[in-house]
Amino acid sequence: QITLKESGPTLVKPTQTLTLTCSFSGFSLSTSGVGVGWIRQPPGKALEWLALIYWDDDKRYSPSLKSRLSITRDTSRNQVVLTMTNMYPVDTATYYCAHSLTTVTTRFDYWGQGTLVTVPS
């Protein structure tokens, strides 16, 4: 059974760095085709993809946020960490991590419960 859970601060001050941890079970990030991605959703708005780390440690980032994002993995601890620098009020959102599987294309087939991060103005 694949499960993922996000953890991190619920409140981040403007200009600070956000660090979120995705703890997962039921799969190995060393398995070919497997990845973990981060997706966020501002209140009442659409989903926005942020980053993805693949089984071979290849990393991809949203072009608009690439300069602010970093994604790393700790395979032994079954964790993936996302850092986002220079947080602004517009970054207030629910942040999800998701298991991805790449065959012909990549899909996000299991999602965590999400964690709401607020950046006050």
Closest alpha carbon to 81 in 48, 28, 38: 38
Near other proteins by CB under 8 A, which window of 24-32, 70-78, 82-90, 103-111? Answer: 103-111
- Quick one: 50 or 119, whose CB is closer to other proteins? 50
Tell which one of 62, 70, 78, 118 touches other proteins (CB under 8 A).
62
- Tell me if 90 contacts other proteins by CB under 8 A: no
CA distance 86 to 81: 17
Tell which one of 18, 34, 52, 82 touches other proteins (CB under 8 A).
52
CA distance 80 to 102: 18
Q: How many Å is the Cα radius of gyration of the chain?
A: 14
